[in-house]
């Protein structure tokens, strides 16, 4: 281990040991060790191929396309679900869940729709983009939960009203869920002693802003990502490596 990395890890460990509140902002990179590909970036599912119809993935996976041609949107929703089928949470998710036992206030703000944080034991989770296992009818608003999509039709329809069913996830062009945004704002207003950005490229303002705000408040900010992001030059500590490795090295001895 380089002396530079050792100093960074010691700084993170000391801050966490003294902290009463932690925020983990997570993206696809934390679930990649579970075998789930990211959608863009290193190892991205859609890096080299756009939908067969000649549309971008942002167009195919949009709320407008779901309304206009739901069979196209569902084709790619099925692909995303299949990529996560049979997979489960990893050591990174477990360590974040264990942090709730160490600090009095720990929250997870995740962009992931795989539900792994909750399955690993985290209770305070804001899954801002939803959960792919939660389904809702676009007609009667009936809801259900499914473990996987193997029993679903290519274009699922509601058995009660016959309308198209959709996953409770935020598609491109759709607004974030109001209740989750309000909860996020409430917790961010209280502030956090240490803020981690884990496995996310931080392209969305609501993912970037909590890190920037923590920096303004003089709180420690930590980025864990093998690639550089829009936040890399602004955080206090940058660990250019995978989520599981960095979390194990920085948190294990404090939490176990």
User: Within a 10 A sphere around the Cβ of 204, how many other Cβ atoms?
Assistant: 14
Question: What tens digit of pLDDT does each residue of 86-130 get?
Answer: 999 999 999 999 999 889 999 999 999 999 999 999 999 999 999
How is residue 107 written in tokens?
A: 């929250």
Question: What tens digit of pLDDT does each residue of 226-252 get?
Answer: 999 999 999 999 999 999 999 998 887
Strands 143-145 and 165-169: unpaired
How confident is residue 54, by pLDDT bands cut at 50, 70 and 90?
confident
Cα 95 to its chain centre, rounded Å, is 15
**CB 126 within 8 Å of CB 108:** yes
**CB 143 within 8 Å of CB 136:** yes
**Matching CATH topology for 3-36+88-129+175-255 and 57-86+135-169?**
no
Q: Which residues of 44-81 are buried (b: 16+ CB within 10 A; e: fewer)?
A: ebbeeeebeeebebebbbbeebbeeebebbbbbbbebb
Tell me: domain 57-86+135-169, CATH 3.10.129.10, correct?
Answer: no
H or E element, residue 239: strand 237-239
Active site residues: 129
How confident is residue 254, by pLDDT bands cut at 50, 70 and 90?
confident
How confident is residue 52, by pLDDT bands cut at 50, 70 and 90?
low
**Which residue ranges make up each domain of the chain?**
3-36+88-129+175-255, 57-86+135-169
The CB-side HSE value for 196 (13 A sphere, CA atoms) comes to 31
User: What is the C-alpha separation between 99 and 111, in angstroms, rounded?
Assistant: 19
How is residue 102 written in tokens?
A: 């160490």
Question: What tens digit of pLDDT does each residue of 196-224 get?
Answer: 999 999 999 999 999 999 999 999 999 99
Question: What are the two backbone dihedrals, phi and then psi, of residue 134, each rounded to the nearest 5 degrees?
Answer: -100, 125
The superfamily in CATH containing domain 3-36+88-129+175-255 is: TPP-binding domain (3.40.50.1220)
Strands 143-145 and 130-137: antiparallel
Q: What is the pTM of this model?
A: 0.91
């Amino acid at each position: 281990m380089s002396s530079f990395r050792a100093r960074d890890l010691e700084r993170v460990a000391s801050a966490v040991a003294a902290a009463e509140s932690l925020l983990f902002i997570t993206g696809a990179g934390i679930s990649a060790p579970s075998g789930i590909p990211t959608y863009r970036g290193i190892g991205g599912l859609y890096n080299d191929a756009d939908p067969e119809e000649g549309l971008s993935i942002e167009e195919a996976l949009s709320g407008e396309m779901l309304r206009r041609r739901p069979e196209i949107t569902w084709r790619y929703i099925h692909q995303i679900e299949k990529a996560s089928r049979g997979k489960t949470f990893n050591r990174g998710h477990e360590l974040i869940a264990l942090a709730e036992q160490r600090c009095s206030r720990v929250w997870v703000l995740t962009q992931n729709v795989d539900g792994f944080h909750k399955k690993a034991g985290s209770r305070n989770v804001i899954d801002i983009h939803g959960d792919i296992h939660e389904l809702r009818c676009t007609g009667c608003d009936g809801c259900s939960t499914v473990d996987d999509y193997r029993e679903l039709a290519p274009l699922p329809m509601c058995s009660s009203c016959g309308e198209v069913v959709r996953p409770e996830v935020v598609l491109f062009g759709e607004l974030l869920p109001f209740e989750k945004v309000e909860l996020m704002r409430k917790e961010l207003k209280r502030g956090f002693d240490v803020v981690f950005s884990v496995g996310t490229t931080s392209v969305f303002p609501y993912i970037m802003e909590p890190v920037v705000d923590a920096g303004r408040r003089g709180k420690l900010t930590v980025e864990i990502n093998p690639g550089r992001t829009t936040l890399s030059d602004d955080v206090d500590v940058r660990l250019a490596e995978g989520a599981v490795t960095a979390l194990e090295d920085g948190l294990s001895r404090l939490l176990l």
